Amino acid sequence: MVYSLAYRRPPHVEPRRISTASGDSGPSIGGTTLDETNESLQDSSINYGIPDALSFDRIIDGGTCPPCTTRDFMNYLIYIEHAAENLQFFLWYKDYIRRFDLLSEKERRLAPEWTLEQAEAQALALKDNPAPMKSISAETAAVFKGTDFDAPKTTIVELSKGGSNPFGTPPMTPTSRDHDSIAPSEYPWSDSGSTLRSGFKASHDKKAAGAFAAADVKLQPFTIQPFREEISRIISIYVAESAPRQLNLSSKERAGLLHALATTTHPTAFRRVIHTVEWSLRHQAHQNFIRWTICNGNRPRVIFARGLGIAGIVGGILAAVLIVLSNAGRGWRVLSAIGFGIGIATLVAAWKGMCVVLHGMHHRHLRPWELFAEDDDASSVLEMKKDSFDTLGSNNSYEDQPWVAKYEKRNLIRKVFDREVWIQEPALRQIQDTIFLQAVLGSLVLTAIC
């Protein structure tokens, strides 16, 4: 069974931002919506070349098979797009809503909902009042002193290590409620059963306090609110400037979020930011991931397939010329159409990222980070998998992982004929069958015309 012959694979979407300050909104998870009338985020993806079986929600909920699982999506964002922070933040937020709803009514009252009226009033206040000047370190100020780049006297300089900090209160002793904030998740996409597997390491309070100060937040956060320590870690990892997994937020979005988080730890404080993150995942990252997954071969194999297609076309043309120049009958000219048709079909399929040989077995090449999983130490491979789903982890750098150097040393022939694995996802096989049928029909039409 195939899709329509007019099917087109999803187009590549360049990263771009949307503005939530203009009232452009849509449904989000956890019921924290900006405008219930806008259903753009829930529209069927088939208009973009993505069937419902491979929809964003289906992948996130664990309803797909390799190579279209949540882990495959995460690996794509880490190794290909280099932008996994949106998905990591989204998964944390989804789990955060679940854990917040499990709190007692008494604890939930400590963190009131951040209403739309408060969000709009805060946005107007940030619009009317210019943002404070960005702080610079004392060392940088000393270097530029006396030059044209010398900062004016009103520039805010970071406090020295020995200086006083209004937010530098001693950390609270961990309680059972704090341990609940990092409870294991029940999501099917987590191998270890935990999305927030993080011990009590170095406190992120100092970096969070710096982010609050940079946003000119006057109100000191209430430490008695539930998950306050976890929110401080989220600020230092995803929100603060130069954070290891800094989200692509505008200065107004960042300031608005920090003002909301200084007031409450309720999930609605992330309303505007989570909409931006979710929109980017649904309408940019998800489409690019499906487009990339349709390709069943690595780049050297696809280039090799294109070369074979061109060689088949050239061979068919040469055969036709030789038959015409020879004394052979007209019927022998049909032989040239065989090479010509195979060449066109191979070239068309390869132009869409598919190798017809691999497709004949419904196989795909293993990704570079999958190739050496068996060779590497089992503990290091498990740690690599956990790090990508550790939503409170460090940055997403992978240059020091063992497979990088090994794959660079791999010769070109071995890359062309790398190890293969069967494609388990039925919807993906159906898409590839459709593309293959389009290539075959296109080659028959062109061969008949020529």
Confidence (pLDDT) at 227:
94
DSSP 269-306: GGHHHHHHHHHHIIIIIHHHHHHHHH--S-HHHHHHHH
- In the chain the first and final C-alpha atoms are separated, in Å, by 30
Measured over the CA atoms of residue 201, residue 245, residue 299 and residue 400, the dihedral's sign is negative
Which pair of structure tokens corresponds to residue 323?
């038959």
Residue type, 272: R
Spatial distance between the Cα atoms of 227 and 418, rounded to a whole number of angstroms: 47
The CA-based angle 388-288-94, given to 5 degrees, is: 45
Q: What is the pLDDT of residue 242?
A: 87
Query: Looking at residue 2, what is its pLDDT?
Result: 80
Residue-wise pLDDT tens digits, 245-286: 999 998 889 999 999 999 999 999 999 999 999 999 999 999
Q: Which two structure tokens, joined as six digits, stand for 179?
A: 């341990």
Centroid of chain to Cα 342: 37
pLDDT score for 24: 44
Q: Are 143 and 269 in contact, with CB atoms under 8 Å apart?
A: no
Burial 295-320 (b: 16+ CB within 10 A, else e): bbbbebbbebbbebbeebbebbeebb
pLDDT at 342: 93
Quick one: pLDDT at residue 33?
45
CA distance 436 to 346: 9
Structure tokens at 308: 């074979």
- Please tell me the predicted confidence (pLDDT) of residue 267: 96
Query: Which pLDDT value is given to residue 119?
Result: 80
Task: Report mean pLDDT in 10-residue bins for the chain, 450 residues.
Answer: 86 72 46 43 58 95 96 95 94 96 94 87 70 55 62 43 42 42 40 40 72 84 90 93 91 91 94 94 94 95 96 92 84 85 94 94 95 63 61 80 91 94 96 95 88
Distance separating alpha carbons of residues 130 and 330, to the nearest angstrom: 82
Cβ contact 74:430 at 8 Å: no
d(CA 21, CA 421): 46
Q: What's the pTM?
A: 0.78
- 56 residue type, one letter: F
Q: Amino acid identity of 279?
A: W
Task: Quickly list DSSP for 146-214.
Answer: TSTTPPPTTS-BPPPTTS--TT-PPPPPP-HHHHHTTPPP--TT-SSS-S----S-S--HHHHHHHHHH
